[in-house]
Structure 1
Amino acid sequence: MAVYLHLLLVAVLLQPALSVYNCSSLYERIPDNTDLIVECGTSVITLEVNLCTAQWAGFDPTGLALNGEHNKTECQGSIDTSVDPPIIRYQLPVNHSQENPCRQSLQIVDEVPDPSGPFSSFSTIQSVIITGYIDTPSSDQGIISYSTDLYYHFSCRYPLEYLINNTQIVASSVSVATSDNNGTFIDTLKMSVYNDTNYNYPLMVPSTGLQLRTKIYVEVKAINLTGNFHLLLDHCFATPSSYNLTNNEQHNFFTGCSVDQRTSVISNGLSTNARFNFEAFRFVEHRDQDKSSIYLHCILRLCEPTKCQELLDGCTSSRRKRSSTPFGQESSDSAVVSVGPIYTTSKDSASAAAYGSEKPSGEADVNVTGLVVGVVFGLVGVVLLVLGGWFVLKKLSWAGLPHMLD
């Protein structure tokens, strides 16, 4: 009888709350993990909590708040009854700053990369882990309570290492949005190629391909980058075909501190974009083709400005100058942005005659032959003239000998 009275009392106490929102009997249960949906966006983390289970547990849905900030209206959720079941929606800015009143825990962690993945050359890679919770005000009134405290824990993992591959360009540039289930700090990674030092004019590749040693200017940008991060190119290289992990033929523009002599790194790790240039070349394996195709790829990372500078300062030491490993060998957070193909011509644009002669080779051969024949006939004439003179002198000397004897 006492148990029945207690249950009746609980039902009466809960009845006002249960009647506020139209909830199905399916949600008359204790809240569990399925009642929380988390979307890790580029700039905002969106959280949705099942309103009905929170209500059935005996709580006013408007009393739940982010990270214990129950007295701040911006940390309380908004109720959406247009969906089934109704939900309480929260939005938490990703940017960890003083202007973020609901605060959250933000931690950068080192992880071991997949040995078979594109970042296998790095000893570690980095990710940002953002954690937080939604809870109810603590039950601190009375001695006992028939309702549990609600506590929804969430986390978002944001990698600082990215791989974008096989993005093709023929003329100028391409932009590819990046996204994954875990969330990303970047709306778009963009690689563009230009033909001028100011990076104003997109590279226009003629139908016959670029002439060898043409300067190509490359810019990589992180667009709508959340948080105070800079973009650092770890490794930029070219392949004769589209990117895959089994590419054996590749030309390295730079890897960490090691830079190819025909490549110039203009800006790297100093802002949300990086720039470098190189001279057009051809892959030897295309020697039997009219054009050589080049696919550009860059492994890049996001890093805090001080961390980027620390890695770049390492290039001043003699040990790092000789290093051919990515910056990520110390602590990583990177990506491959790819563009291509860019075509270069395998034919010379013009040919010059030897020694500056402008005459056809056949005409030159005729002139040389005539000269040789003339010289030969001239020498024969001189020899005959000398022999003729000798015979004349001899004849005269014999004719005058009797007179000398008289």
Structure 2
Amino acid sequence: MILHLCLPLLVGLLHPALCVYNCSSQYERIPDNSDVTVVCGARTINLEINLCTAQWAGFSITDLALNGNHNASECQGSMDNSVDPPVIRYQLPVNHSQENPCRQSLQIVDEIPDPTGPFSSFLSIQAAIITGFIDTPGSDQGLISYSTDLYYHFSCRYPLEYLINNTQIVASSVSVASSNNSGTFIDTLRMSVYNDSDHAYPLVVPSTGLELRTKIYVEVKAVNLTGNFHVLLDHCFGTPTAYNVSQTEQHNFFTGCSVDPRTSVTSNGLSNVAWFNFEAFRFVQHRSQDVSSIYLHCIMRLCEPTKCQELLSACGKRRKRSVSPFGEESSESATVTVGPLYTAAVEDRPNAAAYSSDVASERDEVKVAALVVGLVFGSAAAALLVLAGWFALKKFYWAGGLPHAFN
């Protein structure tokens, strides 16, 4: 419980705090690493400082500030006495860090990936390291002091390479929150499939599957992504079953600059969303099944806008293997999924017996039609012959050749 009365203390005492809290005697010690807690969030970095050890060291809440900004009230913490021991809370925004008065340091570093992870084929992957500190004003007055200067250092590591895979859906889209012990710049990674180029109508897969060569439009989006980074798809591919690291059967839609002829990448590395489309196909191993399933996967990264453009502009002049992981599989990953999508089976051709029977029936119909036409023309010819004979005989009669023939 906190004493609600702030007691004035003598300046020369060992504990020159402005207010006294009922802290346990276990905190009457020099502050150490266990007194600071850091949570690396997608939009904010949240920090907690043990108020009791800071108080024992001779400092109040207003003495500590983020990154040396002691004159900015927004860089000072707020006291929370609802927990034991009480803490000083700080919140540092990640987004728009250049406009942040308590600005921290952000550095992009190259790292060697985990050899057993999904990016094991990369020579290097990248991460963003945000660092900062909370300190007290330096002791610069008098000859001696019984107060120690406090300096709490913190850092957050954010991976820039992500794996999107294996969240199984039949149609439309899926959204799965992404986080890990280090932190992530992304609240949510979302992969969605549509049936139109405007990405307005979610794809609905009929029970019989999609017709082959149907256009499928794919959207990969990072929700609440800081404006410092864009989404760049390194590698997108399809598999007949759910993804695993050792899987070898896959169809590549595109790998970096190399794009399948029936795939089109319409937007990549330009914002927090990337788009591509492809034509529906069947995996040959599903030839005995009524429908063929397709699982979609993408390896994506976050990169600064200029870095994204640098990677994309290098298409056509880069070597097959480079230090940069663009276009290659690369240990940090966040997972989401789209799939399976189903494509329809190829219709069976008529068998030989049915085909022969149809032809024979058609031939019989032709023979009957020919017989009827023949009878009609034969009857007409006979009638013409009779008429011709009658006219000939009548002419002969009038000429006197047959005087009694038509009496």
The TM-score with structure 2 as length reference comes to 0.81
The residue aligned with 1:365 is: 360
CA contact (8 A) 2:175 2:336 kept: no
Deviations 1:135-191 (A, max 9, x none): 111010111112211111110001101123311111211111101111100001110
- Does the Cα contact within 8 Å between 1:124 and 1:330 map onto a contact in 2? no
Give the unaligned 5+ runs of structure 2. Answer: 1-8, 371-407
Conserved? CA contact 1:257–1:322, under 8 Å: no
- For residues 152 and 118 of structure 2, the distance between their equivalents in structure 1, rounded to whole angstroms, comes to 35
Is 2:157 the partner of 1:157? yes
2:343 is paired with a residue whose SS is strand
Pairwise mapping of residues 243-254 of structure 1 onto structure 2 (< 5 A)? 243-254=243-254
Structure 2 Cα separation of the partners of residues 334 and 306 of structure 1: 23
Change in Cα spacing, 1:27 to 1:268, as seen in structure 2 (3 Å) is same
Give the 5 Å matches for 1:33-182: 33-95=33-95, 97-182=97-182
Q: After TM superposition, what 4+ stretches of structure 1 lie above 2 angstroms from structure 2?
A: 9-12, 14-19, 95-98, 319-323, 328-338, 350-354, 365-372
The aligned counterpart of 1:211 is: 211
Provide the aligned C-alpha RMSD in A.
3.0
Matches within 5 A, 1:248-263: 248-263=248-263
The corresponding residue for 1:233 is 233
CA distance in 2, matches of 1:29, 1:148: 11
* Cα distance in structure 1, aligned partners of 2:51 and 2:32: 12
Per-residue CA deviation, residues 13-69 of structure 1 (Å, 9 max, x unaligned), is 145638621212221111111100001111111110000011011122320111111
**Partner residue of 2:346?**
347
Query: CA 1:70–1:219 in structure 2 vs 1: closer, same or farther (change >3 Å)?
Result: same
Deviations 1:266-309 (A, max 9, x none): 11111111111111111111111111110000100111111111
Cα distance in 2, alignment partners of residues 93 and 163 from structure 1: 25
Alpha-carbon distance between aligned partners in 1 of 2:123 and 2:345, rounded to the nearest angstrom: 39
Structure 1, residues 246-266: CA drift from partner, whole Å, max 9, x if none? 112100000010000111111
Change in Cα spacing, 1:367 to 1:286, as seen in structure 2 (3 Å) is closer
Unmatched 5+ residue regions in structure 1?
Answer: 1-8, 375-406
Q: How do 1:265-344 residues align onto structure 2 when only pairs under 5 Å count?
A: 265-317=265-317, 319=318, 327=326, 337-344=336-343
- Percent identity, aligned pairs only, is 74
Q: Whose helix fraction is larger, Structure 1's or Structure 2's?
A: 1
C-alpha distance in structure 2 between counterparts of 1:362 and 1:190, whole Å? 55
**Deviation of 1:113 (Å):** 0.9
CA contact (8 A) 2:121 2:329 kept: no
Match of 1:392 in 2: none
